[in-house]
Amino acid sequence: MRPFQKKCCALLVGMSVMTSLVPTTRTSAIPLNAEAKQKQNAETVYVGFIKDGERSTLFNQDWRFYKGDQAGAEALDFNDSSWRSLSLPHDWSIEGDFTVEGEAESGFLLGGTGWYRKHFVIPQKYEGKEFTINFDGVYMNAEVFVNGKLVGEHNYGYTAFAFDITDELICDGESENVIAVKVKNPTPSSRWYSGSGIYRDITLTVTDSIHVSHLGTTVTTPEIQTQQGGNVDVVVETVVENESENTSDIKLKTTVVNSDGEEVSNPVETTENIAANGNFTFKQTAVVNNPNLWSVDNPNMYKIKNEVIVNDEVVDTYYTDFGFRYFNFDRDTGFSLNGENMKLKGVCMHHDQGALGAASYYRAVERQMEIMKEMGVNAIRVTHNPASEMLLEICDRLGLLVINEAFDTWTNSKNGNVNDFSKFFNTPIEEGNQIINGEPGMSWGEFEARTMVKTSINNPSVIMWSIGNEVLEGIGGNSSNYSTIAQNIVEWIQDEDTTRPVTIGDNKSKGGLGNTNAVAISDVVANNGGIVGFNYANENQFNSLRNSKANWILYGSETSSAVHSRGYYKVRNHNDESRRDLQLPEFDNNANKVGWGHSASDAWKYTIKHDYNAGEFVWTGFDYIGEPTPWNGTGPGSVSGWNPAP
C-alpha cells in the first residue's frame, strides 16, 4: 500500500459501486428489484473497508466518463450505460491529438467539456452518518450533483474543495446513489498545459454526527526553538461539530504519536457542552520530550491523534500529520533550518507528468521528487498554483522544503487567456453553494487563498505562502489596484496562518524603483514580514534593490531558464530554417537560454556568492508540456511553422 493510501484510505464495509446503471425511469432514489439485485451481486466492486481509527477512502474507482456535453446528465435516472468506464485520476486532454487549433503555450492540446458519473449503494447501517466528498483538484469549472441535485460548484483548477453530501444520499442498502460532475475547460484558460478533468484524487469521508470537522485540526509548536531538547509544547486547535439533534457533553482526547505509532505525550482531555448543530474550537497543549526534528536530511514525522468521546464511547478518531522544525530568513545571512544556515537549492515545478498529462499518479510524482532529491535539490516551488495533497505528503516524507503558491494572475487575464481564473477572482460565492469553508458573498479569490493554507497548514515541508507569480506580466488592462489586492491576499493568508512568511515571485521590480507598481506590491510583502522573490534578476539588479530597500529579504524565486534538448549536441541556432526537428543543443552550450534568463551555472554563481541571498529556484526541475521556448505562442497556431512535433 502506498504511503498516501495509508493516510487516507479505509472504510465502507458493504458500500458498493455499481458497474452498470440499473435501467429505470424513476427520478427519486432507485430501489433494486430481485433481478437487479442479482445483477448487482455479480457486478459489484468493493471500494474498501472501515477499520478502527480510519474514516476516509479513496473514491477513485469505477467512474463513467463522457467527453462532451449531454443534456440531463446530472439526473439520477440518466442512462450512461454507453459511457466509458475509467478510474481516477483522469486527464482527457492528454488523450487527444496535438493540434494547431490549440496554442503552443498550453501544449497544442484542447480542453472542452466532460461529464463524470459514479453509481453506488450505501448499506442501511450508515443511516445517520455524515458524508463528505473531497476533490483534491478538478480542472476546471466543476459542477457537482448528488442524486440530481446541484450541491455546488468550484472554478479554480488547482485547489481542493469539499461538500457535505449527507442530506442528498439514501442509505437503505437498496437505493442507488449517483454523483455526477460536469467539468468545463474553455480554452484558452492557461499559459501552460493544464490538463482537463478530475485529475487528482477524490476521497469520501464517513463520520458519526459528532466529529472533527473537515480540515478541523491545526498543529503548531510556537516555542520549539527555545524548548528543543527538552519538553516541547504542541498547541492543537480542533474544531468539533455536533450535527446531531441534541446538545451533548463532548470530550476531546488529544495525543501525539510518533512514526512507529507510539504515544509520545500524555493525553490531554477537555470536555465541552456543544449545542445541536453547533461547533466548538478546542484549544489544547500536549507536551513531547525531546522530539526528533524534521529536516531535509532527517524528515521525522509525527501525528496528532484526536479522539471524540460521547458517553464514554469514541465516536470519531482523526489523525493529523505534522513535524517539529523551525526556520528563519535573515536579511544578512539568508535561510536557516533548525538553527543551521543553508542555501535553498530549489527548482520550480509545474504539475504535469509528461506523457501522463496532468493526471496525478502517486508513483509518478514520487519518482520526480526522488530524482530531484538525488540531484541535490532541497526545495520545490510549486508553480504557479497550490500543490496537491499528494505532492506535499511526498515532500514531507522525503525532506523537501516547499513554497506553496496561490496564483499566477489576479484580476487580469494573462497572455490573452480570457478564461483563466482571473474572471472569477472577484466573483462572490453564490447562495446555495454548499462548498465547505465557503460563505455566500466571499470572493473566490479569498476562498482559494484561504483554502491553499487550510489544506497544507500542517505540512512541515511548507515554509512560505506565495501570493502570486509575475502578476504584472502579460496582463494588459488596469492594475493600479494590485498593491491593494496584494494586501488583501496577505491578510487572508495571515488570518489562517502566521507561522510562515508570505512571498511573491516578481519579475518587474528588478528593473529599479521606477517600476512603481511592482515595487509597491513587493513592499506589501516585505512590510507584512514577507520575503521578496526575484525572477531572473542578475547580480547587479539584486544588489541594487537590496541596497535601496532596507527591509527586503531576498532570494531567487525563479532563475536560469536555459533551453536545451537532452542528448542533442548539434550546434544550431534556433532560428535555423532547416531545423525541423525542433531541437536545441545540450547543457554544454550556455548560449541557449531565454532572453531574460541565465545559464544554470551563472545563476548559481551569484546565488552562492552572497550570504544574504537565501537561495534560488531554477526554472525548471523537470520538463513540462507547454511554453515551448523559443517556439512559444500565446494564440492558436504554430510559431515554428512546422506544426506540433510528434
Residues carrying an active site annotation: 470, 558
Do residues 540 and 518 touch, judged by C-beta distance below 8 A?
no
- Distances from the Cα of 468 to the Cα of 64, 386, 423, 472, 549, angstroms: 36, 10, 16, 10, 20
Nearest to 361 by CA among 129, 113, 101, 91: 91
The 3-class SS string of 267-327 reads: CEEEEEEECCCEEEEEEEEEEEECCCEECCCCECCEEEEEEEEECCEEEEEEEEEECECCE
Are 462 and 402 in contact by the 8 Å Cβ rule? The answer is yes
The answer to whether residues 94 and 356 touch, using CB atoms and an 8 Å cutoff, is: yes
Q: Report yes or no: 41 and 22 within 8 Å, Cβ to Cβ.
A: no
What Cα–Cα distance (Å) separates residue 44 from each residue in 9, 409, 457, 483? 19, 45, 38, 55
Interatomic CA distance for residues 88 and 490, integer angstroms? 34
349, 381 in Cβ contact below 8 A?
yes
**DSSP, res 164:** E
CA distance 645 to 298: 43
Return the C-alpha torsion angle 604, 606, 609, 614, nearest 10.
-80
Phi, psi (degrees; rounded to nearest 5) at 207: -135, 170
Pairing of the two strands 615-619 and 344-349: parallel
